Amino acid sequence: MAELWGGETRKAVENFPVSGERVPLPVVHWLGRIKGAAARVNGDLGLLDTALAERISAAADAVAAGDHDDQFPVDVFQTGSGTSSNMNANEVIAALAGDPVHPNDHVNMGQSSNDVFPSAVHAAALQEVVDRLLPALEHLGDTLAGKAEEWKDIVKTGRTHLMDAVPVTLGQEFAGYAAQIRQGHARVSDATARLGQIPLGGTAAGTGLNTHPEFAERVRARLVEETGLPIAAPADGFEAQGARDGLVEVSGALKVVAVSLTKIANDIAILGSGPRAGLAEIFLPELQKGSSIMPGKVNPVIPEVVLQVAAQVIGNDTAITIGGMQGNFELNVRIPLLARNLLGSIHLLTTTSRLFADRCIAGIEPNLPRLTELAEGNLQVATALNPHIGYDKGAAIVKEATASGRPLREVAREHGVEESVLDEALDLRKIAAGSSA
């Protein structure tokens, strides 16, 4: 297809041969959506000829639909305001609309790169979070919670400091994982209110120069009507262009999700380690050969993917934090970097959460004989004897049992603990139930 862009886009392509990575397509699509709504509003306000407004809005709708993704060649590492991508959108839409539509005078009417590009980034991230990430996190949380319910009566050894601790249930462990993901869902969801505040209408420096006083409100109303997303006016127009704190906040919530996923994936990989020299308390789904040289080896491939993704999201957040703190006076000029990393994190967490749920968590099976063996051999059940014999006597029993390799009950009996006390105190299910208090 012939190039639809013009001179400004060509200059940007020549000036920024940096990464070969283009601006994220959700941002491109939202540039189209915003410019389509802007043309309709300018037509309604009598600022733009009705026929031109219709042609511009139709062309912008096609960009928003992804029909012209190949017409946006500018590298993501470009001028920090996103001016090059805004001009790219103006030129493509003007070319699609046809003469005499002008990229600046008509397509960009009432707008500036300084308010339109960050608005597109916020809206793109908001839509990806609401439509894709939050449902994916909900699915992962539900999958973990389903396993927690299924395994609520399977007693196993608890561990603290990587050492044996009092018994818990496998269900309790997985309920903790489910709660982590659901808390992460809540954190991300809470941040969407600020994410949806877009700086549209501020034009160059937040003053609204060259914009009709009703323009921004009407465009936002159209965008809300079209998408149902919680798009709103900013708390302050100068804050909304000088800072990108809404993007930084969401990234921070994504980082917490990545931290949670790291904890969960590490635990699951270790719980499934073995089959003979590890914990081997659970069986992970066997998805592929684990070694090109060791026959029969199966590795925790999905947890390993999760751990790599989590590390990338945390790295993305560091770059976003640095980009967010470098807003100077009336404009943050690290917006393309923020867009790249935030939308990248959202995409990675979305796909990986579903992958983790469907190709790992859903297929895990408990190794019941191993869980029982380790739980019954756990010397820390002696903790339940503390109310009956005291901490010091309990410690002496544990030390002797550890040194001799003999069963805890046998050693306790020799230390004068009555059988009825042992029967009552060393009930593993009762101990596990008490550990949830």
Residue positions annotated with a catalytic role: 161, 291
What is the distance between the terminal CA atoms of the chain, rounded to a whole angstrom?
66
DSSP string, 124-159: HHHHHIIIIIHHHHHHHHHHHHHHHHHTTT-EEEEE
Q: How many CA atoms lie within 13 A of 38 on its CB side?
A: 29
CA distances from 208 to 40, 182, 329, 366 (A): 19, 40, 16, 62
Exposure b/e, 275-300, CB count within 10 A at least 16 = b: eeeebbbbbbbeeeeeeeeeeeebbb
d(Cα 433, Cα 155) in Å, to the nearest integer? 10
Ordered alpha helix ranges (H), 228-382: 237-242, 245-271, 301-324, 335-359, 368-376
CB atoms closer than 10 angstroms to residue 398: 19
Return the axis-axis angle of helices 113-128 and 335-359, rounded to nearest 10°.
10
283 secondary structure, DSSP code: E
Phi and psi torsions of 300, nearest 5°: -80, 70
Asked if the bond preceding 199 is cis, omega within 30° of 0, the reply is no
